[in-house]
Structure 1
Amino acid sequence: MTVSDLDLVRRTQQHRDHYAYSQLVRRYQSRLRTSLRGWCRGDHALAEDLAQEAFIKAYQALGNFRGEAQFGTWLYRIAYNVMVSQRRKQATGTGDTASELPEVPTEPQRADIARDLDTAMAQLSEPQRVAIHLCLQRGFSHQEAAQIMDIPLGSVKTHVLRGKQKLQSLLAPWREVESHV
């Protein structure tokens, strides 16, 4: 029987149950680190540092978690804030990578599309990249992405729509290749 996130949160809040919190970390660490690697343009070391910082901040703030959002949404919001803070400190440019790629028939095509998708994603604005990653790659709803990014729902929908349109335009040559395969 799997214990719910909310039950693990309550055990951690009420009893300072480190084992319960470690179960939450195990559930989310892989997905969160993958997301952060994408947001950090593939910088694995930075993504690991930010993930660790997000889990520490989440633990410290767990007393404020009220269950209004799912734990995963709340955790991603913390991780997003940690990443934005890091970006502000570093004042770096834009350009994230995608962590999941569409299926393609051959290995050379897979490598080509990965490169082209990374290049196309780098041409999106940061809010577009994050919104597309959260909604299309991680499966968060638009509402959950709005909570994570702390922006209005309509803005998330606009970022996803405009980002998808730009990606379709940038990746149009792949549609031609697929139609000839």
Structure 2
Amino acid sequence: MSDAAPPRAIPADDDAGLVQRAVAGETAAFEALYRRHVARVHGVLWRLSGMHAALAEELTQEAFLHAWQGLPGFRGDSAFSTWLHRLAVNLALMRMRTPEREETVDPDTLVLLAGGAREFCAGERAELEQAVARLPPRARAVLVLHDIEGWQHQEIGAALGIASGSCKAHLHRARGLLRALLGEPGATLHDDTGVRGDD
């Protein structure tokens, strides 16, 4: 029989307990935080990246690396999930500010979309995700953060460095473009919002 202690099982701790243990150097606690939050983080990064699977995966890894490195400085003013989510979104937004990269939708990703959806909805969901991916980066970011992630205009404005009024205009533009991309009768790709189209 070995003198080594068996690996410690991770109880169903809340995030605060796991964070304390991870800061103390317990890697199993950070692994538990990773498992608990990776799907949501990856999901928002996938949408913000325009359904670019490789970029979303890269950003997800980078977000958790930054979280691990920044964990000792986490003060607990907000929930860990909120802190992690904002860290991930900020990484994606910084990446969007870098020189343009080719915006493409990973075809393998489209095949995976239908896997969890009911058969009659799979095509519509894929069409919606493709349309969101085709939006200009800033319009896509505002739409995803507001309509999918539930952020307020002030929060989005602060993250993107724009006024909340501009955020509302970008959201209006994004919704109009999305309706046009989805072929809604009467919707056009003409941008009449007054929002600059250079994003």
Q: TM-score, normalised by structure 1?
A: 0.68
Range 64-73 or range 53-62, more displaced: 64-73
Matched, 1:142 2:146: no
Pairing of 1:69-80 with structure 2 (within 5 A): 69-80=78-89
Q: Residues 51 and 129 of structure 2 are in contact (CA less than 8 Å); yes or no, is this contact kept in structure 1?
A: no
Range 118-127 or range 25-34, more displaced: 118-127
Distance 2:76 2:160 in 1: 17
What do the CA deviations read for 1:55-85 (whole angstroms, capped 9, x no partner)?
0111101122122232222212222232234
2:43 match: 34
Q: Residues 52 and 104 of structure 2 are in contact (CA less than 8 Å); yes or no, is this contact kept in structure 1?
A: no
State the structure with more CA Rg: 2
Distance 1:75 1:95 in 2: 26
Distance 1:45 1:165 in 2: 28
**Pair 1:37–1:57, CA change in 2 (3 A):** same
2:21 to 8, 11, 16: 11
Structure with the larger helix share = 1
Q: TM-score, normalised by structure 2?
A: 0.63
2:55 match: 46
Distance 2:181 2:63 in 1: 33
* Dislocated runs of 4+, deviation >6 Å: none
Range 35-44 or range 162-171, more displaced: 162-171
Alignment gaps of 5+ in structure 2: 1-10, 187-199
The root-mean-square deviation of aligned C-alpha atoms, in Å, is 3.8
2:197 match: none
Alignment gaps of 5+ in structure 1: 176-181
Identity %: 28
What do the CA deviations read for 1:100-151 (whole angstroms, capped 9, x no partner)?
89xx9963x7425633x245324533233123223322x4332795388354
